[in-house]
C-alpha cells in the first residue's frame, strides 16, 4: 500500500466478480468449486478495502439473469450464500464492517433472506466500512422499480429531476462509485449500477475472481489515482 495516496481514495468501489466458473474449469473442477473459492477472494478484498480506508464496497454477487443458470448451480449458490453469510458475520464484526444489500431480496430463498437479515441487523452499528451485496440485482430491474414507485407516489413530470429519481433507487443513501472493477478479462457492465456509474472510472483485469487479492485491489486503486476525472469539463477547468 506504500504507493497509494490516502488523500485521493475512491469513497465507493463497486466490483463485478467474474470468472469463478472458468477458474474451476482450469482446475478440472465443477463450477461450484470456483464459487466456493471465490468466497476467500471476497474475504480478502473486503478486509483489504477496509484496511486501505474505502468507505463503501459493493459486490455484484448474484444478478437477476443468474436465475436462468442450471438449477443445480443456482441451488448450490444459494446454499453457499447462506453458509457464507453465517460464517463471515464474525469477520464483519471483528473488522467493524456494516453489511447491507440491494436487489430483489424477496426472490431469494427464505433461509437466505433470514440469514441476510440477521447479519444486517447484527452489523448495523459498525462504522469502519459498509459492504453492500448486490443479490438478485440488475440495474434495469432497479430503474423500472424506481419508476413504478414514482408513479405510485403520484409524482408529476415537472417534479422529477435527477436528485428526486435517485431517492427511489436502492442506493439512495450511498454515494455513486468512483471506481468500478471487473475481473476475468470481460469488458461488459452486465446490467450493474447503470445509473450510478455514469462517471465512474472503469478498471478491467484479466485476473479471475478466485485469484483476486488485496494486491490486485491496490493495483486498481493506483490506476484510478493516475487518472484525471473531469466530469465533462476540460483539463484547464479542473486545474484552476
Check 66, 104, 126, 191 and give the catalytic one. Answer: 66
Check if 66 is active-site. yes
Q: How far does the chain reach from its first CA to its final CA, in angstroms?
A: 30
Residue 229 is predicted with a pLDDT of 72
Residue 237 is predicted with a pLDDT of 60
Whole-number Å distance between alpha carbons of 189 and 182: 8
Check 5, 8, 18, 95 and give the catalytic one. Answer: 18
Residue 90 is predicted with a pLDDT of 93
Per-residue pLDDT of the chain (240 residues; tens, 9 = 90+): 678 999 999 999 999 999 999 999 999 999 999 999 999 999 999 999 999 999 999 999 999 999 999 999 999 999 999 999 999 999 999 999 999 999 999 999 999 999 999 999 999 999 999 999 999 999 999 999 999 999 999 999 999 999 999 999 999 999 999 999 999 999 999 999 999 999 999 999 999 999 999 999 999 999 999 998 766 666 666 566
Whole-number Å distance between alpha carbons of 80 and 212: 19
Residue 228 is predicted with a pLDDT of 83
Check if 18 is active-site. yes
214's grid cell = 488485496
Whole-number Å distance between alpha carbons of 216 and 231: 26
Angle CA 40–84–195, to nearest 5: 85
Amino acid at each position: 500500500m506504500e504507493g497509494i495516496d490516502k488523500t485521493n481514495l475512491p469513497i465507493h468501489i463497486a466490483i463485478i466478480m467474474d470468472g469463478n466458473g472458468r477458474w474451476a474449469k482450469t482446475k478440472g473442477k465443477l463450477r461450484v468449486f470456483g464459487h466456493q473459492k471465490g468466497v476467500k477472494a471476497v474475504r480478502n478484498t473486503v478486509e483489504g478495502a477496509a484496511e486501505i480506508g474505502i468507505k463503501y464496497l459493493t459486490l455484484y454477487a448474484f444478478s437477476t439473469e443468474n436465475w436462468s443458470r442450471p438449477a443445480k448451480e443456482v441451488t448450490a449458490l444459494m446454499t453457499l450464500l447462506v453458509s457464507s453469510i453465517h460464517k463471515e458475520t464474525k469477520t464483519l464484526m471483528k473488522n467493524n464492517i456494516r453489511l447491507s444489500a440491494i436487489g430483489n431480496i424477496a426472490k431469494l430463498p427464505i433461509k437466505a433472506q433470514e440469514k441476510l437479515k440477521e447479519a444486517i441487523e447484527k452489523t448495523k452499528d459498525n462504522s469502519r466500512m459498509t459492504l453492500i451485496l448486490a443479490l438478485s440485482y440488475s440495474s434495469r430491474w432497479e430503474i423500472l422499480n424506481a419508476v413504478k414507485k414514482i408513479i405510485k407516489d403520484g409524482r408529476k413530470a415537472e417534479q422529477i429531476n435527477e436528485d428526486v429519481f435517485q431517492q427511489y433507487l436502492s442506493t439512495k443513501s450511498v454515494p455513486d462509485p468512483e471506481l468500478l472493477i471487473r475481473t476475468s478479462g470481460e469488458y461488459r457492465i452486465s446490467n450493474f449500477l447503470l445509473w450510478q456509474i455514469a462517471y465512474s472510472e472503469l478498471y478491467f483485469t484479466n485476473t479471475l475472481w478466485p485469484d483476486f487479492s488485496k494486491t490486485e485491489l491496490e493495483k486498481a486503486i493506483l490506476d484510478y489515482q493516475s487518472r484525471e476525472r473531469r466530469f465533462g469539463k476540460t483539463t484547464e477547468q479542473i486545474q484552476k
